Amino acid sequence: GSGACSACRLLAEINEPTSEAIIVLTNVLNDTAADEVVRSWAAAALARLGRMNVLVNYISQLPADIIVSGLAAPYLAFRNDGQFSLLDYRPLEEALGRYPHLADAVAAELAPGRSFCKITPDEAAAARSGLTSPWPFIRRHAEIVLERLEDKL
């Protein structure tokens, strides 16, 4: 329930990808008896902890909604709560390269109008690399977060 969601969120905000945290989140992710919302939080927390590869390993066994929540999480405003890993589109591009059928659902999660992450000046280079992504929705995300950064500077 909500306690498990809070625990997943807290692990993401602390952003210490210890093996214990990854194991707990992976177990929640794969717990078919758990609520799908809780499993989605676990997916999002894993992605925020830089472990999108763990999600990708289980793509064939998980409902698409859970996977998509995880794949989109590091790029939405949620990632700015607490400590966060620097912007990097490569794990998402690698996941979509292997599972392109998920691209439309991830694109819907990252559509303009959603609350995107706020990037720091340290992340501008990573955002600029997103401008050359083969995925149009990643290019658009990169454009928007860069524009907002420049407005703040």
Q: Which two tokens stand for residue 12?
A: 């993401």
SS3 116: strand
**What number is the average pLDDT over the span 74-99?**
89
Rounded to 5 degrees, what angle do the CA atoms 66, 145, 80 make? 55
pLDDT band at 1 (very low <50, low <70, confident <90, very high): low
pLDDT at residue 3, rounded to an integer: 77
More confident residue, 4 or 127: 127
Chain segment 96-114, per-residue pLDDT in tens: 999 999 999 999 999 988 8
Is residue 16 over pLDDT 90? no
Q: Cα–Cα distance between 50 and 21 in angstroms, integer?
A: 12
Distances (CA, A) of 145 to 11, 22, 51: 25, 28, 22
Q: Which residue has the tokens 């939080």?
A: 41
Which range, 6-15, 109-118, 128-137, has the best average confidence (pLDDT)? 128-137
pLDDT at residue 8, rounded to an integer: 75
| DSSP classification of residue 133 | -
The type of residue at 16 is: E
